[in-house]
Amino acid sequence: MALPVSPDAMESFLLAAAEAGGTVALAHFRRRPDVANKEADKGAGRFDPVTEGDRGAEAAIRALISERFPDHGILGEEYGSERADARYCWVIDPIDGTRAFISGLPSWGCLIGLMEDGMPIAGIMHQPFTGENYLACGEGGFLLHRGNRERLAASGCERLADATLMTTSREAFGEGKFERFEKVSERVRLTRFGFDCYAYAMVAAGHIDLVIESGLHVYDIAALIPLIEQAGGIVTGWDGKAAPRGGDIIAAASKALHAEALAVLNG
């Protein structure tokens, strides 16, 4: 891994870019924004919301990246890709958790990740309503909040029987996959639903031990992999292999917990 700038410079840029996007998103939060359905042409019952907050936040982040790193690639949920084959590529989810966003719940976040040759190396989860910044720039994960700086550390939980498990929603799982999730859920101490990217930040912070989800896109996970891994956790696909572009994802607070969960998930 080689950052294109120093860790301090990378942190400063991630904070600036996230604040730029978060300021735009926050201006629409709890303001009953107009909501469009990106899945409207795929039939009744399909709902993938997007707001002007999503679009405006991504535009603000992309503008800063293009100005600071004109040779880098950019991949965003709302505006697609530019120079996607570049060595360094920024991956943006301007509002991860748009369903929570339009429901007035503060469990969404602005995600910005940096990939080098297809592998995530730095990232930030910014929650502008609470003012939290969870970030990783190669020298560990940190929470910056209200002027304080706290090093993130995964809980180290090693047994399913002691673990808190989260996933966003049952509906996000593909056919037959929620039943596999339930097998793990039956063995943990506590299972909770919701929270999108916020759940992954809580794994890095040591409050949640396990997140299992299905059908993620690259922009859902690229910023969060460095955050969890640099806090001592592990993120892979359900097959146990690296999953930098998403898919079926498991994030765990320790290698032992990861191994036990995978064994149940795939058993």
By three-state DSSP, how is residue 143 classified? strand
- pLDDT, residue 45, reads 64
Query: Is the distance from CB of 209 to CB of 163 less than 8 angstroms?
Result: yes
- The three-class DSSP label of residue 172 is helix
Q: How far apart are the first and last CA of the chain?
A: 34
What would the CATH number be for the domain defined by 7-151?
A: 3.30.540.10
What tokens were used for 58? 């991504």
Please report the pLDDT score of residue 90 as a whole number.
Answer: 98
Residues 154-188: tens digit of each pLDDT: 999 999 999 999 999 999 998 999 999 999 999 99
Note whether 86 and 95 are within 8 A (CB).
Answer: no
Q: Which amino acid is present at 112?
A: I
CATH 3.40.190.80 fits 160-265, yes or no: yes
**What's the confidence (pLDDT) of residue 174?**
87
- State which amino acid sits at residue 172: A
Q: How far apart are CA 202 and CA 183, in angstroms?
A: 22
Contact criterion met (CB below 8 Å) for 51 and 28? yes
H or E element in which residue 73 lies = strand 73-76
User: For residue 164, which phi and psi values (nearest 5 degrees)?
Assistant: -105, 125
3-state SS, residue 126:
strand
Q: What is the CA radius of gyration of the chain?
A: 17
Which stretches within the chain are classed as H helix?
7-28, 52-68, 98-102, 177-185, 196-205, 218-221, 224-229, 255-265
Q: What is the pLDDT of residues 17-71, one digit of tens each?
A: 999 999 999 999 999 999 999 876 666 567 889 999 999 999 999 999 999 999 9
Give the pTM: 0.96
Kindly list the domain boundaries of the chain, sorted by start residue. Answer: 7-151, 160-265
What is the percent of the chain with per-residue pLDDT over 70, rounded to a whole number? Answer: 98
Cα 22 from Cα 261, distance rounded (Å): 34
Of 102, 170, 171, 137, the C-alpha closest to 18 is 137
Q: What is the mean pLDDT of residues 239-265?
A: 98
Q: What is the pLDDT of residue 44?
A: 57
**Spacing of C-alpha 78 from chain mean position:** 16
